[in-house]
Amino acid sequence: MKRNTLLAISCLAILLIGAGALAQGTTAKKAGHAAAAKPALAMFLIESPHTPEECLNVMDEVNKSKDLGAWDWGCAAGNHTGYRIVRAADENAALAMVPEDVRAQAHAYKISKMTAAQLAAAHKHM
């Protein structure tokens, strides 16, 4: 009986301590959020074409920034284009992730997911 009572009191103490810590963390997050609201980031598909002659230089530049693995390349199939999906504040921020030498030819397209409900609503408005 004593062991069950001790166990129950210990569990209650742990729950109270955890609830207090959680409440403090939530308050701190709200205070921090109010002080410095971050702009919402959107998803962008970056399409960065380059010539066969520029190919290795572009990949070397991307590799210098440690982002080579974040890009998908069509080069081996003859489509000298790099593709990447990123979170960015806007189109210009997304394009800033493209090597400067080929940035002028690059495009950043804002993309998003669509739910079945959104698709149904779109059909109703057509």
For the chain, the first-to-last Cα distance in angstroms comes to 70
32 or 85, higher pLDDT: 85
Q: Which amino acid is at 4?
A: N
Burial 77-103, CB ≥16 within 10 A → b, else e: eeebbbebebebeeeebbbebbbeebe
SS3 call for 4: helix
pLDDT at 12: 46
State whether residue 96 is helix, strand or coil: coil
Both structure tokens of 16: 């109270």
Q: Write out pLDDT tens, residues 52-96.
A: 999 999 999 999 999 999 999 999 999 999 999 999 999 999 999
- Contact (Cβ atoms closer than 8 angstroms) between residue 74 and residue 81: yes
Is the pTM higher than 0.75? The answer reads: no
Q: In degrees to the nearest 10, what's the CA dihedral of 108, 39, 28, 16?
A: -50
Distance CA 54, CA 71 (A): 16
